[in-house]
Amino acid sequence: MGRKHILIVDDDKNMLKLLKMFLEDDYQVTIVESGKQALDYIINHTPDLILLDYMMPLFDGPHVMEIIRKREASKHIPVLFLTSVADKDKIIQCLAQGPQGYLIKPISRDELLQRVGEVLDNVK
């Protein structure tokens, strides 16, 4: 079996590069810069995990997650929010959608690898 595939969705190009660098030794990594690009991507691909930014123009993370969960072909894909949004009410609202976790930026490489590994180990 090949390496697990992670889709990273973030409108910050520097964050995308950093996250890809953190993960690419252990995982196949695809990066996209918007929620719309993410939704377009998962029409034809099924990543093993989506790392999803909360705040993005047009389609923010919670909106993207809502669409992912409504589509039969993608509703099973685990989602980890990775964001600088630390507002308690927004986190609670976000967690109500059932992501596999909510990570606050900045995040260390070790912490990211640990959390990604935990989520992927729990996926059947």
Domain ranges of the chain: 5-117
Region 18-22: mean pLDDT is 97
**Does residue 74 register a pLDDT over 90?**
yes
**Does residue 12 register a pLDDT over 90?**
yes
pTM given for the model: 0.95
Domain 5-117 annotated CATH 3.40.50.2300? yes
Distances from the Cα of 2 to the Cα of 23, 48, 122, angstroms: 15, 11, 17
Q: Which strands make up the sheet holding 49-52, listed edge to edge? A: 28-32, 5-9, 49-52, 79-83, 101-104
More confident residue, 93 or 69: 69
In the chain, the percentage of residues whose pLDDT exceeds 90 is 77
